[in-house]
Amino acid sequence: MIKTALRALATLLLAGQLHSAASADDQDFIVVQSTTSTQNSGLFDHILPKFQEATGIEVRVVAVGTGQAIRNAVNGDGDVLFVHSKSSEEKFVADGFGVSRSNVMYNDFVIVGPAEDPANLEDADTAADALRKIESAKAPFASRGDDSGTHKAELRLWQAAGVDPTGASGTWYRETGSGMGATLNTGTAMGAYVLTDRATWTAFGNKGGHKIVFQGDPELFNQYGIILVNQEVHPHVKSGHGQRFIDWILSSAGQAAIADFEIDGQQLFFPNATGGAS
């Protein structure tokens, strides 16, 4: 009986040790809901190993459109949200799903198109004017159509242009429902104009005969923000490790890592961290 009791105790102790080890392993990573632009550009491949080396915490990125990333975070499928649609991010916090929002970095959107530029976008004065030229020429335009940060920015620009392109869906206006890289592939294949973030375009390898045909309008400014998912709403959120990631991203080390990311000598993101809610 004593041997049986000792064996049972040993089994319980071993199970407890295995559970503790599993729990410790579970805490060695966080899930970041983010965008295809940060992933496709190569930024995460550049900065995340630096964070893991400094902290021992692995970051697992779910790269989707901003709208889907926010929905995933609302459902508790992540510890940190790192996206680029400020109004949507602020609503996420106001609704109680996020703790606070901080600026991280910015770049800009550009419009790319065939080198011959059939709609003469290079003569446009503003982004809204450029889109009106596309609509007037009925030139092909490939939209992500996926509720991403880029898609939200595109719709805002069409509204400023006084054009509702969705009525032309399936004709000159094509909605891919895909990420930035896939939409650029579609756009280059069909000779279409595409609104893209500059970082993804710079890293994109299938440019074909496309080039940047419009850029520089302040309305094309592209701000990224970071938010800790609220543990009070989702108790399983790893708020400690998530906050360590946010603190590192906003620190001088994290900001320097972002600034150091270049392709062909071109800096793709410009750090502008704020230390608190914004």
Q: Render pLDDT for 12-29 as a digit per residue (tens, 0 to 9).
A: 444 444 444 334 445 699
pLDDT greater than 70 at residue 186: yes
Q: Mean pLDDT over residues 163-167, rounded?
A: 95
- pTM, full prediction: 0.84
- CA dist list (Å): 226 to 11, 42, 93, 94, 176: 44, 18, 11, 14, 27
pLDDT greater than 80 at residue 4: no
pLDDT value, residue 8:
45
pLDDT greater than 80 at residue 175: yes
Per domain, the residue ranges of the chain are 26-107+223-271, 108-220
> Which CATH number is 108-220 given?
3.40.190.10
Q: Mean pLDDT over residues 107-134, rounded?
A: 97
Mean pLDDT of the chain: 90
**What number of other Cβ atoms are within 10 A of residue 168's Cβ?**
14
Query: Out of 1-5, 17-21, 115-119, 258-262, which region has the weakest mean confidence (pLDDT)?
Result: 17-21
The two tokens of residue 250 are: 């906003």
Q: Can you name the residues that pair with 7 across neighbouring β-strands?
A: none
- Could you check whether 26-107+223-271 and 108-220 share the same CATH topology? yes
User: Residue 74 — very low, low, confident or very high, per pLDDT cuts 50/70/90?
Assistant: very high
Strands 262-263 and 58-64: unpaired
pLDDT value, residue 155:
96
Q: Mean pLDDT over residues 255-267, rounded?
A: 95
User: Residue 40 — very low, low, confident or very high, per pLDDT cuts 50/70/90?
Assistant: confident
Q: Mean pLDDT over residues 117-134, rounded?
A: 97
Residues 246 and 79 sit within 8 Å (Cβ to Cβ): no
Q: How far apart are CA 132 and CA 41, in angstroms?
A: 29
Count Cβ atoms within 10 A of the Cβ of residue 267 and give its class: 0-12 exposed, 13-18 middle, 19 or more buried.
Answer: middle
Percentage of the chain exceeding pLDDT 90: 84
**Separate counts of helices (H) and strands (E) for the chain:** 11, 12
pLDDT value, residue 71:
97
CATH architecture under which domain 26-107+223-271 falls: 3-Layer(aba) Sandwich (3.40)
Q: How far apart are CA 112 and CA 180, in angstroms?
A: 12
Q: How far apart are CA 226 and CA 70, in angstroms?
A: 11
User: If DSSP states are collapsed to H, E and C, what string results for 182-210?
Assistant: HHHHHHHHHCCEEEEEHHHHHHCCCCCCE
Query: Out of 141-145, 177-181, 224-228, which region has the weakest mean confidence (pLDDT)?
Result: 177-181
